[in-house]
Amino acid sequence: MRIMFDQVLDPERCYRAAQSRDARFDGWFYTAVRTTGIYCRPSCPAVTPKRTNVEFFRSAAAAQQRGFRACKRCRPDASPGSPEWDARGDLVARAMRLIADGVVDREGVAGLSSRLGYSVRHLNRLLTEELGAGPLALARAQRAQTARVLIETTELTMTDIAYAAGFGSVRQFNDTVREVYAAAPNVLRLGAERHRPAGESGTVTVRLPVRRPFGGPELMAFLAARAVPGVEHWDGERYRRSLRLPHGHGTVALQVADDHVGATFRLADWRDLAPAVGRIRQLLDLDADPLSVSAVLSLDPAMAPLVASAPGRRAAGSVDPHETLVRAIVGQQVSVAGARTVLGRIAEAIDERLAIPDPDLGVLFPSMEQLAVALPDALPMPAARAATVRRVATLVAAGELALDPGIDRRSVVDRLVAIPGIGPWTARYVVMRGLGDPDIFLETDLVVRHALAALGLTAAAADEWRPWRTYAMHHLWALGAPAPSRRLRS
């Protein structure tokens, strides 16, 4: 399925993929047609143009920089993201994860470069060489996509949308939308009015695309079992949670379907829409490449039945790596239910009330600043473990421990295990779920050890599951869990 060699597109393989109209390739590359000036996703239903009339780009931003406009039929700006940015750990992938989180909009290219530890010039050169566009162009493409979602799904004024999407001025917003979509913002809104989903005032519902197969029910069951009271809520059909975002509070309600996830956001500040969407995509592992994962794991005769019974199983991620770190520390040598109860009590004791009224979600998960100064009564756990929580929270609050989408995953485990009270299991769990590493295996995990024994395997078998050992972990964890409901929205 891979269509790149040494990070360079192979035009002939790209063209064959476009001829097949196979949606599995959406997000891996974009097809641009010189004769029409349009760029499309590979699965576009339009007639495939002649080979001599097309060229291929690694990113939508690169196609836009060359003067191509987004296809109005296949909506390439709404295709799943490339799985490479989750799987890879190199500088370009780290930069892409930070750009998706809105760092360029908030801190500029200089802020992005500073987080990555490289010069602006070097970062520009690397991104342009591999993706055909620099960080400003990549961020601009994301702003255009966010603007279109707000134009078509909300009643916000165009001025509010311009600033919510991250544009510096209304004129810049108008010019970019016209250039990318070949239509003025008001034209896009008129065209979408008939199809706008009904929703509460102050909400926006986004259809998050996924690669199929998609194990949505299994994913919801995993999150529901770990839902922290007051912070998260599961009613059997929808998973909801509160969000701490760069500009304020937010909530999201998620409902899975066979080929997408419906996400309804309520945000205190609309500028947080793009980072909120990015964090939910990471939480649900929506940019995974399930066929590549299944192809590797199914080679093991013991693992193949598990893969077949749960096609498209996702590796649940996180909306905040710091939250994952606290969850991992609290969960050491404690059952899932026990950790959930303790975390709920901590959130209730810290009691940062959600600024957006919600009948089932009352508080935010505590911040590291709050945990660093929490009183002993607010951390109902053994004293040594409470001290570890305060210790890591203090390091994060002081800027001495960084956990963000752009961090070098290989260095995080060493940094964490050097902190008293954190062992290898905890550190690697944080990298797996908090930072989305697809190739972590927790061989000392008790549930995993029991699952391996039940399959007649030893931990050495995991070497054959690279580079997708995280997904193998989720299959093994699920062995002892009850089967989830398969109800899906159409």
Q: Which residues are catalytic?
A: 40, 445
Going from the C-alpha of 2 to that of each of 83, 299, 307, 449, the distances in angstroms are: 11, 18, 20, 33
Structure tokens at 44: 């576009």
Q: How far apart are CA 448 and CA 471, in angstroms?
A: 12
CB 102 within 8 A of CB 278: yes
Q: Which residues of 437-449 are buried (b: 16+ CB within 10 A; e: fewer)?
A: bbbbbbbebebbe
The amino acid that residue 260 corresponds to is: H
DSSP secondary structure letter of residue 431:
I
Nearest alpha carbon to residue 470 among 45, 29, 86, 80: 86
Judged by DSSP in three states, 248 sits in: strand
Q: How far apart are CA 205 and CA 150, in angstroms?
A: 9
Q: How far apart are CA 77 and CA 40, in angstroms?
A: 9
Exposed, middle or buried by CB within 10 Å (0-12, 13-18, 19+), for 66? middle
Q: At what angle do helices 103-116 and 91-100 cross, to 10 degrees?
A: 150
Judged by DSSP in three states, 42 sits in: coil
* Secondary structure (H, E, C), 162-226: HHHCCCCCHHHHHHHHHHHHCCCHHHHHHHHHHHCCCCCCCEEEEEEECCCCCCHHHHHHHHHHC
Torsion of CA 218, 219, 223, 225, to 10 degrees: 10
